[in-house]
């Protein structure tokens, strides 16, 4: 189930992502391109069974993913959930021929893990590689897809993603409110409002 509040979006948007898709790319070629790019955060690479997507996110894409990440972090701090943000951590698995670099991702709890517990992906420009199929093969427990003004939560159960009404990692978080707060003029304002809502001090929308 998706939590939906409209914000500017569309098939053709004012600030669209730049994306190139290559076919017939070997795993070695994929890893070579990662090495050539080095520590630069862009472009981001997604790989699935020989298909390589190279994406440079737009301003709007980056703003939305950053707002959502900062809101999630402010909520977790307010309610005492231990987490580690690991950003666009390069996740890959040669045997399943999958690799991805999320918009945002998090480890929940205090222990280092091989995979994040939560991945957040903003689908800002239509089309593109199947991110859920990549994360299924990588064994990521929870994925949020932010698309068309909504957050859809997908939980991995027995090797298949099922849509859920709320987050597994942050079950008390109102996802419709998260999307609404993306419309705040600054990320810091959105953080203050979600923190106030989380501790029950005041309505975040007043």
Does residue 192 belong to any structural domain of this protein?
yes
Contact 156, 164 (CB under 8 A): no
Instruction: Give residue 195's pLDDT.
Output: 96
Is residue 46 in a domain?
Answer: no
Q: Is residue 114 part of a domain?
A: yes
Residue 102 near residue 88 (C-beta atoms within 8 A): yes
Residue 203 belongs to a domain: no
Number of domain units in the chain: 1
- CA–CA dist 146, 143 (Å, integer): 10
CA distance 14 to 52: 25
User: Residue 11: inside a domain, yes or no?
Assistant: yes
Residue 191, domain extent: 2-16+58-198
Q: What is the structure's pLDDT at 151?
A: 97
- Sequence-separated (6 or more) residues with CB below 8 Å from residue 155: 141, 142, 161, 162, 163, 164, 168
Which residues are 165's β-sheet partners? none
Judged by DSSP in three states, 196 sits in helix
Q: Which among 70, 48, 50, 74 has a CA at the least distance from the CA of 134? A: 48
Q: What pLDDT shows up at residue 115?
A: 95
- In the block, residue with structure tokens 């666009």: 88
Q: What is the CATH number of the domain that holds 89?
A: 3.90.1570
Over the chain (206 residues), what is each successive 10-residue block's mean pLDDT?
Answer: 44 68 97 92 94 94 96 97 94 97 95 92 83 97 94 97 96 96 96 95 47
Q: Do residues 159 and 136 lie in contact, with contact meaning Cβ atoms separated by under 8 Å?
A: yes
DSSP 3-state assignment of 181? helix
Please report whether residue 30 resides in a domain.
no
Instruction: Confirm whether 163 is domain-assigned.
Output: yes
Angle separating helix axes 187-198 and 59-79, nearest 10 degrees: 30
Question: Is residue 79 in a domain?
Answer: yes
pLDDT of 149: 87
Matching residue, tokens 């993306």: 182
DSSP 82-111: -EEE-TT--EEETTTTEEE--SEEEEESSS
């Amino acid at each position: 189930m998706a939590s939906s509040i409209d914000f500017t979006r569309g098939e053709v948007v004012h600030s669209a992502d730049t994306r190139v898709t290559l076919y017939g790319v070997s795993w070695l070629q994929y890893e070579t391109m990662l090495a050539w790019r080095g520590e630069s955060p862009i472009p981001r690479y997604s790989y699935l069974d020989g298909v390589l997507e190279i994406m440079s996110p737009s301003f709007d894409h980056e703003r939305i993913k950053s707002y959502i990440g900062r809101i999630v972090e402010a909520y977790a701090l307010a309610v005492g959930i231990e987490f580690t943000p690991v950003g666009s951590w390069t996740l890959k698995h040669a045997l399943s021929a999958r690799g991805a670099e999320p918009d945002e991702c998090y480890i929940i709890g205090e222990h280092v893990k091989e995979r994040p517990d939560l991945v957040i992906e903003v689908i800002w420009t239509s089309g593109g590689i199947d991110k859920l199929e990549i994360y299924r093969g990588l064994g990521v427990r929870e994925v949020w897809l932010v698309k068309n003004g909504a957050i859809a939560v997908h939980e991995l159960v027995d090797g298949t993603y099922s849509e859920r009404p709320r987050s597994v990692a942050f079950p008390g978080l109102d996802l419709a409110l998260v999307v609404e707060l993306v419309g705040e003029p600054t990320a810091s304002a959105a953080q203050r409002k979600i923190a106030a809502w989380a501790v029950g001090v005041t309505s975040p929308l007043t």
